């Protein structure tokens, strides 16, 4: 089974209030999620979006089906994609924690592929973040 995942993470400020947007498509179904993830940096939000997506995919499919699933993950963070594909070294301890969590989650699937796409091709996941931003209390943003 092929599962296509689009993720995006964003922060209003760096660090600041953050959110993730995730689109998961499988078996003719599409699930979308936008979530407030508290305060963090843009890079942390990008990683948290992928962690959320992998966990949610396993829950949606169930463990036995997940083990047979091939995941293609698309993100507009070239840094995160490059780190996950071992093109760039990890230099931040907090980022390393997310990297390790993702690699452990990968064991739950047949295969997981990470792909960089331009922001213009990730509009749906980005739009989910923007919807979450609208719920943020304006007083806490500035």
Residue 138: predicted pLDDT: 64
Query: What share of the chain in percent tops pLDDT 70?
Result: 96
Q: How far apart are the first and last CA of the chain?
A: 45
- Is the pTM higher than 0.85? The answer reads yes
Reduced to 3 states (helix: H, G, I; strand: E, B; else coil), residue 135 is coil
Residues of the chain with pLDDT under 50: none
Domains of the chain (ranges, CATH numbers): 2-88+95-117+124-134 (3.30.420.10)
The C-alpha atoms of residue 102 and residue 94 are separated, in whole angstroms, by 13
DSSP code of 142? Answer: -
């Amino acid at each position: 089974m092929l599962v296509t995942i689009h993720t995006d993470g964003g922060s209003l400020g760096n660090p600041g209030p953050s959110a993730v947007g995730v689109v998961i498509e499988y078996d003719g179904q599409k699930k979308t999620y936008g979530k407030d993830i508290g305060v963090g940096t843009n890079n942390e939000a990008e990683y948290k979006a992928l962690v959320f997506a992998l966990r949610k995919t396993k829950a949606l499919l169930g463990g036995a089906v997940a083990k047979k699933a091939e995941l293609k993950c698309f993100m507009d963070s070239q840094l995160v994609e490059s780190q996950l594909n071992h093109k760039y070294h990890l230099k931040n301890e907090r980022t390393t924690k997310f990297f390790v969590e993702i690699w452990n989650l990968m064991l739950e699937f047949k295969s997981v592929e990470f792909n960089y796409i331009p922001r213009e091709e990730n509009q749906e996941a980005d739009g989910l973040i923007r919807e979450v931003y609208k719920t943020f209390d304006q007083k806490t943003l500035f």
